[in-house]
Amino acid sequence: MNIIRRLIAPTLLLAVLAACEAPPLGDTPPANPEAQLPPEVVSRYGPIHDAGVDIPAVPAQYLNERTIRTEVDYWGDYRPGTIVVDPWERFLYYVLEGDRAIRYGIGVGDEGRAFAGEGYVPYSRDWPSWRPTANMIREFPDMYGPLREGMEGGLWNPLGARALYIHRNNRDTYYRIHGTSDMSAIGNATTAGCIRMFHQDVIELERMYKPGARVVVLTEAQSGMGTRRAGGPELALASR
């Protein structure tokens, strides 16, 4: 326990969670960006108390058209309940009936672009523990070496509030859809991690999915599939 307490010092945690910085948000942000958001969005991304953990609200500066979850048109030969990940456009879709889907903004690390094809989610975990891989320790010994024994679940754990574990052919792919406290990563490409979501979003996704749910991860060539009707120019970028 002593090493865990030492490891959660803010400076180390920021290093673990923010392997690269997000693009600057501009020199003159709105004085009150929250006032420009619909009340339902502010409420949707407000603070949550979950399993004894206080999850903070997502700051308004990180909420925009590409990061706010919304219901959109989505065309494809997918059964309702399928999870489609487009790591190149940085969206995750939870397929609904009637050519519709819930679209989530995601953050994508190198691991998130290293897997493509189909799998399934046999199980998920609430506030999972986390351990760096041997490769991570080898490449970044100062950052990850002290964490080789793992981290307990918690707000600053890299897997966040929930993790969905993707398997293929009855084997763990080590591909994860998970929460993050690095809210600036959502909507961006980062150097580390799989598929990151706001805590508020991954909690909702974990409530909806059914164990065994099909997961489809698009290749770069497939990016954008489902956002247009066959032969049509329509884009699924806005709710109707």
CATH of the domain at 91: 2.40.440.10
| Position with higher pLDDT, 230 vs 127 | 127
Average pLDDT of the residues in 189-202:
88
Which residues are CB-neighbours of 199 under 8 A, at least 6 positions away? Answer: 48, 50, 55, 160, 161, 162, 179, 180, 181
Q: Which of 116-125, 130-139, 186-195, 228-237 has the highest mean pLDDT?
A: 116-125
Q: What is the pLDDT of residue 13?
A: 40
Q: How many domains is the chain built from?
A: 1
pTM for the whole structure: 0.81
Buried b (16+ CB within 10 A) or exposed e, 91-128: bbbbbbeeebbbbbbbbbbebbbebeeebbbeebbebb
DSSP code of 160?
T
Nearest to 159 by CA among 121, 133, 127, 200: 127
CA angle, residues 213, 177, 223, in degrees to nearest 5: 85
In a domain, 231, yes or no: no
In a domain, 124, yes or no: yes
Q: Which of 10-14, 114-118, 159-163 has the highest mean pLDDT?
A: 159-163
Fill in the amino acid letter for 95: V
In a domain, 41, yes or no: no
Q: What is the pLDDT of residue 101?
A: 98
Average pLDDT over the chain reads 84
In a domain, 69, yes or no: yes
Q: What is the pLDDT of residue 3?
A: 33
In a domain, 92, yes or no: yes
In a domain, 28, yes or no: no
- Lowest-pLDDT range, 60-64, 129-133, 215-219? 129-133
CA–CA separation, 215 and 101 (whole Å): 14
Q: What is the pLDDT of residue 179?
A: 96
At 181, list the tokens: 């406290």
Query: What pLDDT band is residue 170 in, cutting at 50, 70 and 90?
Result: very high
Q: What is the pLDDT of residue 45?
A: 98
In a domain, 235, yes or no: no
Q: CA separation (Å) from 187 to 10, 90, 216?
A: 24, 6, 19
Query: Within the chain, how many helices (H) and strands (E) appear?
Result: 6, 12
Nearest to 45 by CA among 188, 203, 156: 203
Other CB atoms within 10 Å distance of the CB of residue 139: 12
Which structural domain, as residue segments, surrounds residue 149?
2-17+61-217
In a domain, 65, yes or no: yes
Looking at the chain, the whole-number percentage of residues with pLDDT higher than 90 is 68
pLDDT in tens, 91-150: 999 999 999 999 999 999 877 777 899 999 999 999 999 998 888 799 889 988 999 999
